[in-house]
Structure formats: structure tokens, C-alpha cells
Amino acid sequence: MFTDTVLSGMRPTGALHLGHYHGVLKNWLRLQDRHPCLFFVADWHALTTHYESPEVIEANVWDMVIDWLAAGVDPTKATLFIQSRVPEHAELHLLLSMITPLGWLERVPTYKDQQEKLTDKDLSTYGFLGYPLLQSADILIYRANLVPVGEDQVPHVEFTREIARRFNHIYGREPGFEERAEAAIRKLGNKLGKAYRDLRARYQEQGDREALEGGRQLLEQSQNIGMEDRERLFGFLEGGGKMILAEPEALLTEASKMPGLDGHKMSKSYNNTISLRESADSVTKKIRTMPTDPARVRRTDPGEPEKCPVWQFHQVYSDAATREWVQKGCRSAGIGCLECKQPVIDAVLAEQEPMRARAQPFIDDPGLVRDIITDGCERARTKARETMVEVRTVMGLTQG
Ligand code: TRP
Ligand code: SF4
């Protein structure tokens, strides 16, 4: 039977924090129980923006893998690897670049957005322009069908679908199929035949779904062709030939509800994070010094939870009874803010406790992590090599 393969990557640009845990990682844990999963450290992707600070990447690759393991990612279920250790990704990226129109890359929304946002970096590089295509190679090389990503990355998966479609369109034709399809188009007559060709090109080259729908309707309504030819042209419309590269689907990861210490989204750039394996002392201190409703100057002033970042933490961590206690106690000045924070501190520490425990053996013996990655890279490479044999063959690069 056909099982969906899941693939996702993460850039090693900083320590993972509770925002990553409540967003991405918990989702990975669910997926690893249901599907074959490939999770990898996207170190080449990190270099596209951090080419001037390789030390950041070096420092974060292994820590990130330990963070994954700490969170419960299980190397007996999922394949964990490092992108740069599977050089076939780079070869596929190169080969795909031959058929990738520049305009497609320039139009990917993250290209301009990031250039405008990350003003301290010069991102007018060849590598950065190719970022989405490298991501396509990551996905297509494993014929992964499901790609869990955040909203900002959905256009990259869409782009990947278009690249796969274009590749299959150019290299995936079967002997004889095309001639038959062409003969069937001629039977449609001049006008319909031309309309069909136009719609097909729009769909295959630009991924225009409306054109696909239009093509189907045209075929359904045509009186000139029989069943067989109609079926043929349906197939031809969508590609029809051999499917060498599979079109993936984005699996949208819901944005994490985890707030940062200041009530804004938890993010390294806001300096409001609690890292995954932060020490108990530091976590306690950070939460004790979190800002609260500014109207509560004195202990006797009543407060409003809706205006307090601590309340957002209660919404993630506390049960109904505790939340009720906060609402009442805050508005009546019945509880103090430190008192209110204690259940949050306890809950965060309880959440982190098993993570610290799972990480410890890997910290004590880094060889264990290296072994997991060596094994994962080998497994990933085996699959990647299979795809590359086919890709090279259809692109005229057979050796021997
Ligand atoms: N670009 C992704 C990000 O910034 C990371 C990534 C690289 C990725 N290759 C991938 C995600 C392939 C999914 C699939 O988050
Ligand atoms: Fe915030 Fe709790 Fe203090 Fe109210 S009592 S202001 S919710 S910390």
C-alpha cells in the first residue's frame, strides 16, 4: 500500500525554545507515530543567510539534534540527518536549476520579504535566490508527499509542486503516449484543439488550477472524441506521462499559541524566549520577573488578566480550576502576582523535566548523537541515490 512520506527541515540558527516545542516539534511527534518521517538539519539553507557567520551554524547543528531528541523525536521511528551530509541534494538542486525559470524564483514572496527585513545582510546572492529550489530538491529527492511547514513556507511547497510538474512534463513522457494524445487533439478540431493546448500549457507551466478545470470541462463537452481519446487527453492535461518526481503537499503547522515572556510571539529576535533545556533556576527567574498588568502597581490594586502576559501562559499550561483562581484572584486583588506565577513556573519546569532527562545521555556521550546522525544520513542517502539514478537517466546523464 501507498504510505505518505513526511519530510521537514529546520535551519540551525539558534537554540530551540518553547515556541518551537509547542508549534513544530509537538507536530513532529504526532507525525512520527503515523508516517515514515525524515527530519533534517537544513545547514545549507542556514548558510544562504548566515554565510558570513559559519560559527553560528557550527554551534547549533548538534545542539539542535539534541533538542529534537530531548523533545521526544525518536530515531527508531524517524530518520534524522544533516542536509550537507547527503550531497545528492546539491546535485538535484543543480539539475533542477536547468529547468527553473528565473521569474519563478524572483516571484516567491519570501525572496523580496526577507531581503527587505534582514537589512543587516546582503541577500542579493545566487544562493539566496535559489533558496526555494534547494528546498524543492530536499523534498523531491525523497518523493515526500507531506511537508509540515509554517504558513510562511507554504509558497515554497507550492513552488516545489510546480517544479515537479515541469520536470515530469519535460522528462516524463512515455513512448507512444504523446503521439496518441496529439492525434486525439487533432480530432477535437482546430478551435477546441488550440484551446486545449493553451489550457494545458497554462496548467502545466504555471500551475493554474482554473486552466486545469477549464481543460476538463472542454473534454467533457466535446462531441468529437470517443471514450479512449477522452481518457488519454485527461491524462495528457495533467502530465500524463511518467511521474518521476512526486508533487508534495504542504501540511500546515498551526502557529504556536506559546507567548513570549513579554506577551509577544516567542522569538529569538524579540529576546523573550525560554529555551527548551534552560536550567530550572533561569526559568524560575525569568518567569518571576515577567511583566504583569501594568495597572497592578501595588499588591492591593486589582488587575486584568487579559492585559497580562502571565495569563497567556496560564492559557497554555493551566487547568480550568487554576484559570478560574487566576481570574478571580487577579480582579479582586485576592492573589499577588508572584503567587499567580507559581503554577506557571511549576508547569514549565514539569514540561522541561523529561526533556532534560532525555538529553542528558547525549550530552554525556556526544558519540551517541553522531551515531544516530550517521545512521540517518545513510538511510536518507540510500533513498536519495535511487531518485538520482532516475533523474540522471532521463536528463541524458547515464554513465557506463
Ligand atoms: N525553509 C525551511 C524553513 O526556513 C527549512 C527547510 C529547508 C525545509 N528545506 C526544507 C522545510 C524542506 C520543509 C521541507 O523553515
Ligand atoms: Fe497577571 Fe496574575 Fe498578576 Fe493578574 S495576578 S496581573 S494575571 S500575574
Cβ of 337 less than 6 Å from ligand 2: yes
What is the per-residue pLDDT for 241? Answer: 67
Name every protein residue with a CB atom under 6 angstroms from any ligand 1 atom.
7-9, 11, 42, 45, 135, 138-139, 147, 149, 153
* Domain parsing of the chain, residue ranges: 6-172+246-256+366-394, 177-238, 277-363
Mean pLDDT for each consecutive 10-residue tract of the chain (400 residues)? Answer: 82 94 96 97 97 94 98 98 98 98 95 91 95 98 96 96 92 80 94 96 90 90 84 80 85 90 93 96 98 95 97 96 98 97 98 97 98 98 95 87
Mutate to test the pocket of ligand 1, among 5, 6, 7, 11 (most ligand atoms within 8 A of CB): 11
Cell of 103: 521569474
Contact 104, 159 (CB under 8 A): yes
Mutate to test the pocket of ligand 1, among 24, 45, 139, 140 (most ligand atoms within 8 A of CB): 45
Q: Does domain 6-172+246-256+366-394 have CATH number 3.40.50.620?
A: yes
What is the per-residue pLDDT for 2? Answer: 44
Q: What is the DSSP string of 222-275?
A: -SSS-HHHHHHHHHHHH--S---SPPPEEEEPPPP--B-TTSSBP-GGGT---B
Give the span between the Cα atoms of 365 and 378, in whole angstroms: 21
Cβ of 340 less than 6 Å from ligand 2: yes
What is the per-residue pLDDT for 227? Answer: 72
Give the span between the Cα atoms of 308 and 275, in whole angstroms: 21
* Closest ligand to Cα 156: 1
Fold entry, domain 277-363: Tyrosyl-Transfer RNA Synthetase (1.10.240)
What is the per-residue pLDDT for 1? Answer: 32
Give the span between the Cα atoms of 85 and 42, in whole angstroms: 10
